[in-house]
Amino acid sequence: MAQCEQCGRRMPGLTFGKRICPWCKQHEAAQRGEGGEYQRVETAPWQRQQSNSMIVTQLLIGANAIVFLKMTLAAGLTLFGSAAWNSLDVMRLGANIGVYTLGGEWWRLLTNTFIHGGLLHIAFNMWCLWSLGRLAESVYGSWTFAAVYLLCGLSGSMGTVIWNPFVSSVGASGAIFGIAGALISSFYLGEFSLPRAAVSGMLRSVVAFVGYNLVFGAMIAHVDNAAHVGGLVMGLILGALIAKLAPAHDAVLRRLGVLLVGALLLTGVGFGLARSKAYLIHGQRGVASLKAGNLDKGIQELQMAAKQRPGFADTHEILADAYLAKGDFDNAAAEMKRTLALDPKNQDVYYRLGLVYLQQKQPAKAEDVFSQLLKINPNSADGHAGLASAYSDERRYEEALAEYKRVVEIDSLYRDVYYNIGVVEAHLNNADEALAALLKQKQTWDNPDNERLLAAVYNAKGMKPEADAARAKAEELTGKN
């Protein structure tokens, strides 16, 4: 299809021999004062008054810089040490963490867009904002640009909540990608009173920026590409609607309508998230109640979370811990088994379930659980130690001793391993071996149980002074505890 020589628009059909489109003719006629109207769409960036065209971009960069500086000073760090902020610091300052955001702290969707995790992070984002913001603000005007930026930032944060609800996310990149998306839509769909080549060049540059950063983000583990995509999608939508429905800067009501559509889209996604991720809300409340010491309330919230999303292993694992804290071993074991049904490679849950069975004096069940753990990881010191405890409870001392020695091979500093070897050796009437193990345990750290057993072994060997000293040491350690 033929294109206009002046603006690059596609010419209507059956326009053979005509090289200038009707719009350009109307435009030229209006400039000559010959009357008539011509379509005004987004004005070319360099045709706007430049004195005020960057005010919002400058304000946004300033706000980000002030927040970054305050965070750095509050943490007592130099600018180059800002990467030392820990996750708790960032969470308190307003990072976007899905389980907290969905739990009622919706303000995190916005506050996280003004927080950055380090000097390089903010430097790169502000450089991008400076480059894209100036162009977008001149295309849309200041107030529209500000609204698009904030809506895209919120959309990017929403993308993080959808994709990574347990990840802490900060940074302005979601909003910046949104601005890039809006420019792509506008350059592709809009009608500019400037050469087609200029528009195409800017479009290629923005598309290249988006493509490169999405690929780069997919390759780097800690880059939140979900926020990038969330912001980009909202930007593409808003840019397209503005270009087609409200291109003129003075079309205030139409632009407000477009921005309202964007806000309603976000609100709808938010309501959908609150319903589909309600289990996260109850889970977060449950964890908060457990931390506050309210076990009953925490268990109630976690039970609701488990009912709404039975297939979410983390809820069952936390609920098991809550039951353990309450001393309800039966329900704790039931929740651990549900966790393992959903996450059969969870070694920690296997180990803790085995301990629960030992606590309930069910060594046969404990033996089975620890054996399953060792099938997953044959070099698990916890698995061998647990299996040894089960054998010992079943009075299978030779097998228990073999397992404890395997623990020493894997981890010679494993907690209380030499004391446990001493116990088993004592049961086997191997006084010398028991004494050697208990003395080795004593070199690791003082334990009143170890001293009491030492006293018993010394007595068995007829070493009364040593036995008395060990008993005195046990009483001393008991008094300190």
* Domain extent listing, the chain: 1-39, 47-276
Q: Where are the alpha helices (DSSP H) in 32-141?
A: 55-74, 87-93, 98-101, 108-111, 119-140
pLDDT of residue 82: 42
**H or E segment and range at residue 287:** helix 278-291
**CATH number for region 47-276:** 1.20.1540.10
pLDDT of residue 49: 43
| CA distance linking residue 48 with residue 56, whole number of Å | 15
> Any idea how long the chain is?
481
Rg, Å, the chain Cα set: 34
pLDDT of residue 282: 86
Positive or negative: CA dihedral 71, 77, 79, 81: negative
Comparing C-alpha atoms, which of 217, 221, 199 is closest to residue 209? 217
- What tens-digit pLDDT sequence spans the chain (481 residues)? 455 666 555 555 555 555 676 666 766 776 666 655 444 444 444 344 444 568 999 999 999 999 988 887 776 554 444 444 555 566 777 888 887 888 778 899 999 999 888 888 898 889 889 988 888 888 888 999 999 999 999 999 999 888 888 788 888 889 999 998 898 888 888 766 555 655 566 667 777 777 777 776 666 667 778 888 899 999 999 999 998 888 887 888 999 999 999 999 999 998 888 788 888 888 888 888 899 999 999 999 999 999 988 999 999 999 999 999 999 999 999 999 999 999 999 999 999 999 999 999 999 999 999 999 999 999 999 999 999 999 999 999 999 999 999 999 999 999 999 999 999 999 999 999 999 999 999 988 888 999 999 999 999 889 999 999 999 998 988 876 5
Comparing C-alpha atoms, which of 403, 415, 458 is closest to residue 435? 458
pLDDT of residue 346: 96
pLDDT of residue 102: 81
Whether this prediction's pTM lies above 0.75 is answered by no
| CA distance linking residue 183 with residue 234, whole number of Å | 12
Give the alpha-carbon dihedral of 247, 253, 258, 259, to 10 degrees.
120
Kindly state the DSSP code that residue 169 receives in the 8-state scheme: E
Comparing C-alpha atoms, which of 178, 58, 84, 172 is closest to residue 123? 172
Q: Which residue has the tokens 């021999």?
A: 17
Q: Give the Cβ contact number of residue 112 at 10 Å.
A: 28
